[in-house]
Amino acid sequence: MAKRYFEYKDAKSHKFWEVSVSGKKVNIRYGKIGTDGQTSLKELGTPAEAKAHAEKQAAGKVKKGYKETKVKAAKKAVKKKAVKKKTVKKKVTKKVTKKKVVKKKATKKKAVKKAPAKGKASQVDQEAMFTLEPEFQKCVIEVETYAKDAIVIERAIGWRYGQILINDSTEKEIKDALKDRDDWDRVCVSDKFEFIDQKLQDSFQDDLSFPDDMSEKEMARLSKLFSKKGETLFEQEGWQIEDTKLYFEANIKIIKSNKDTL
């Protein structure tokens, strides 16, 4: 799979996300545009699984507003920004020379500098990484939506253990987001947060949901097809994953993390 590069820009953030596959390994690089960012490496069971995982992650980014672009174009944009920063530094030097004469004003400026320091601290807090996981077992549900023509099928996978790693949120923002639950008392964490990494372990259920107007014969055929080869045969028949959502149930633990991978 060739390297794919995406960017997300709005009033608050300018981020990039990049994915590449080498054999069974999926390499992801992400961060603010203009920086080298951070990297995470995930190893899957087979090269096919690694490719499928990378494509699923890329599709999720597109749904969240990321736009795919060429890696070279992104690097050129970074160089332009670097040039602008050099000119800004020259202006700062001029200001410092002018204010050497007036000592009293310089003292006042020192006092004012405390306010930006607080802003800087809050920025660091905002970019801290957190691991989220349900407090109890069997509280993680992954829902995949498959579509073919106008027919939609849902696959619900129950996991005994699950974790997600996120950033760009303060602990207070995370707690506020976790208050918003659906009728089954679940939080759709894939809608609330952008994952840096996720880990799902020990599946205990894997069920398909079919449309009400589908015949029993077709439901039985698809169930048998899926139980034999899973999503591989589904894709060969023309079924495509349109969406993947991850739900956490019960109490959710928030743990500050220093690692960029799970």
The CATH code that applies to domain 4-69 is 2.20.140.10
pLDDT of residue 116: 43
pLDDT of residue 15: 84
pLDDT of residue 107: 44
pLDDT of residue 64: 80
pLDDT of residue 105: 47
Q: What is the 3-state secondary structure of the chain? A: CCCEEEEEECCCCEEEEEEEEECCEEEEEEEECCCCCEEEEEECCCHHHHHHHHHHHHHHHHHCCCEEECHHHHHHHHHHHHHHHHHHHHHHHHHHHHCCCCHHHHHHHHHHCHHHHHHHHHHHHHCCEEEEEECCCCCEEEEEEEEECCEEEEEEEEEEEEEEEECCCCHHHHHHHHCCCCCCCEEEHHHHCCEEEEEEEEEEEEEEECCCCCCHHHHHHHHHHHHHHCHHHHHHCCCEEEEEEEEEECCEEEEEECCCCC
Q: What is the mean pLDDT of each run of 10 residues along the chain (262 residues)?
A: 86 82 88 80 84 85 85 45 44 42 44 43 56 94 90 92 89 92 91 88 91 92 80 78 90 90 84
Q: Could you tell me the pTM of the whole model?
A: 0.56
pLDDT of residue 104: 45
pLDDT of residue 178: 93
pLDDT of residue 249: 92
pLDDT of residue 100: 41
